[in-house]
Amino acid sequence: MTAQYIMVVDDEPDIRQLVSEILEDEGYKVVTAENAAKARELHRSRKPDLILLDIWMPGQDGISLLKEWRENDTLCCPVIMMSGHGTIETAVEATKLGAYDFIEKPLSMAKMLLTVSNALRSNQLEKENRGLRKQMSGSLEPVGGSQAMQRLREQARRIAQHDTRVLLYGEPGAGKEMFARYIHSLGNRKNRPFVRAALSSSRAASHALDNLLFGREDDSKIHYGLLDEANGGVLFLAEIFELDNHTQTRLLNALKENRFMRMGGREWVELDMTLMAASSHDLQDDIKGGKFNEELYYLLNVVPLMIPPLREHPEDVPELLNHYVDLLTAQDGLPYRHISLAAQNFLRNHSWPGNIRELRNLVQRLLILGADTEVSLDEAEEAVGTRIPVFSQEIGHIPESLFDLPLRQAREQFEHDYLIYQLKQVDGNVSKLADQVQMERTHLYRKMRSLNVDPKKYGR
């Protein structure tokens, strides 16, 4: 497990040395500062997991430094105040300013270690609770008894034994983040942060992306980025191809050197984290199109993990349906409804273009809108909607008049033929196709799948 990072701030050298040695013996990584100026410098260089802060120091005292961090919105971790001249009023003031606890000198090392452990655990629980509110609760183990899912879980368990980068491939909604979280839960960083970054449709905002990932510094104020948040843990970058070339280069350098510099910063920040990245399409297409850094690709692609679409393991659909019924009734307080066997069989044969995410949303919709205790076949069919016929791989025969077709089918037939025509013009290169038809690539891939258009058939 990656050691947690503690800063000890005290003007007495003997106390700094003693506290540092004891904490290091307990497995923590420790840095020390003799005054507020040095503490401020260390605080800027890397976000600590906890700070032990002396109140009475020459120059700026600990209470003033704590207040400064609070006012600058950079109080990023638990702070334990220390003092040999403590009063109840001082302790109350420190607590009001955001301190986790207050311990008196001479220090009881047993009490100090207990307070440190409790503060770190409390902070970790708070982070976990925030994360759980943003994602579905329950077991992190991916659901499904199919051979495909069993094989994937076994691969994930093997990957988790090594602190290595992972590149997850799969269609939108197939479960890439679910498997990334599963690997994290089994690895040696499982008690450290898992930070998710969604990069979708952000190519145009290069400066905003840099601030998001690397953070920034304005005078004395630090705005922590995702690399700061994930330091010591795992950063998950969804749709990694959305990074622009400039940000890709910055990320590549950070990974190669294990350090980075915030926007507007002047000092390097030590970096210790595992990166997991995801993509809904083959990044080789982007490399050929000059839109993805080849060196970054090979740095990320240490262990590729392919997450299959739900239509390739439909035998898991009944189990997934029941899983989300149980989850949503427990998590959101929705009324329980049993999905009939006929409805389950029908849904098992659905193509699920939106994959597991679509299935979850459908279950939620059925629980919210349904009145009966059982979901019938008719209700399931209505919830899924009428499907467009699957087109042939070649350009279909257009009727003498498109008015002979229903509007929806006529539109889909035209889109199918249009995309095949454009694919032939660009020799099957999807990056060029996206530019040609002026569509975002994730949406373009989804559209081609729904129309049964395979771009690989039209490459040279």
Reference 330, options 135, 138, 130; nearest CA is 138
326-to-62, 175, 332, 398, 447 alpha-carbon distances in Å: 50, 19, 10, 47, 32
Cβ atoms of residues 343 and 379 within 8 Å: yes
Angle between helices 407-425 and 441-450 in degrees, nearest 10? 120
Q: Which residue has the tokens 């690997």?
A: 183
Confidence of residue 149 (pLDDT cuts 50, 70, 90): very high
Confidence of residue 371 (pLDDT cuts 50, 70, 90): confident
Predicted confidence (pLDDT) at residue 226 exceeds the cutoff of 80: yes
Q: Tell me what pLDDT residue 186 has.
A: 92
Confidence of residue 299 (pLDDT cuts 50, 70, 90): very high
Predicted confidence (pLDDT) at residue 304 exceeds the cutoff of 70: yes
Q: Tell me what pLDDT residue 181 has.
A: 93
Tell me the average pLDDT across 90-94: 77
- 79-83 vs 50-54, strand pairing mode: parallel
Q: Tell me what pLDDT residue 402 has.
A: 58
Confidence of residue 203 (pLDDT cuts 50, 70, 90): very low
Confidence of residue 167 (pLDDT cuts 50, 70, 90): very high
Confidence of residue 20 (pLDDT cuts 50, 70, 90): very high
Query: What b-and-e string marks burial along 57-67, b requiring 16 or more CB atoms within 10 Å of the CB?
Result: beeebbbebbb
Q: Tell me what pLDDT residue 169 has.
A: 94
Residue 8, helix vs strand vs coil: strand
Predicted confidence (pLDDT) at residue 318 exceeds the cutoff of 60: yes
Confidence of residue 92 (pLDDT cuts 50, 70, 90): confident
Percent of the chain past pLDDT 90, that is, above it, reads 40
Query: What b-and-e string marks burial along 232-246, b requiring 16 or more CB atoms within 10 Å of the CB?
Result: bbbbbbbbbbbbbee
Predicted confidence (pLDDT) at residue 175 exceeds the cutoff of 90: yes
Mean pLDDT, rounded, of the chain: 85
Confidence of residue 403 (pLDDT cuts 50, 70, 90): low
Tell me the average pLDDT across 424-436: 87
Predicted confidence (pLDDT) at residue 236 exceeds the cutoff of 90: yes
Predicted confidence (pLDDT) at residue 436 exceeds the cutoff of 90: no
Q: Which domains does the chain have, with CATH numbers?
A: 5-132 (3.40.50.2300), 156-307 (3.40.50.300), 311-384 (1.10.8.60), 402-458 (1.10.10.60)
Q: Which residue has the higher pLDDT, 440 or 394?
A: 440
Confidence of residue 256 (pLDDT cuts 50, 70, 90): very high
Confidence of residue 1 (pLDDT cuts 50, 70, 90): low
**pLDDT tens digit string along 52-89?**
999 888 888 888 998 888 877 777 889 999 887 766 77
Please state which of the ranges 22-36, 168-182, 186-200, 345-359 shows the lowest mean pLDDT: 186-200
Tell me the average pLDDT across 12-24: 92
**Amino acid of residue 184:** H
Predicted confidence (pLDDT) at residue 448 exceeds the cutoff of 90: no
Token pair recorded at residue 300: 């990320």
Percent of the chain past pLDDT 70, that is, above it, reads 89
Tell me the average pLDDT across 404-411: 72
Q: Tell me what pLDDT residue 204 has.
A: 44
Predicted confidence (pLDDT) at residue 255 exceeds the cutoff of 90: yes
Predicted confidence (pLDDT) at residue 126 exceeds the cutoff of 90: no
SS (H, E, C) 303-363: EEEECCCHHHCHHHHHHHHHHHHHHHHHHHCCCCCEECHHHHHHHHCCCCCCHHHHHHHHH
Q: Tell me what pLDDT residue 58 has.
A: 87
Cβ atoms of residues 210 and 346 within 8 Å: no
φ, ψ of residue 73 in degrees (nearest 5): 60, 35
Token pair recorded at residue 196: 């998710």
Token pair recorded at residue 375: 């979901």
Q: Tell me what pLDDT residue 404 has.
A: 65
Tell me the average pLDDT across 350-354: 90
Tell me the average pLDDT across 296-318: 94
Tell me the average pLDDT across 372-393: 72
Predicted confidence (pLDDT) at residue 18 exceeds the cutoff of 70: yes
368-376: list long-range contacts, CB under 8 Å, 24+ apart.
368/334, 370/335, 370/337, 372/337, 373/336, 373/337, 373/338, 374/337, 374/338, 374/339, 374/340, 375/337, 375/338, 375/339, 375/340, 375/343, 376/340, 376/342, 376/343
Q: Tell me what pLDDT residue 22 has.
A: 92
283: DSSP letter: H
Q: Which residue has the higher pLDDT, 164 or 388?
A: 164
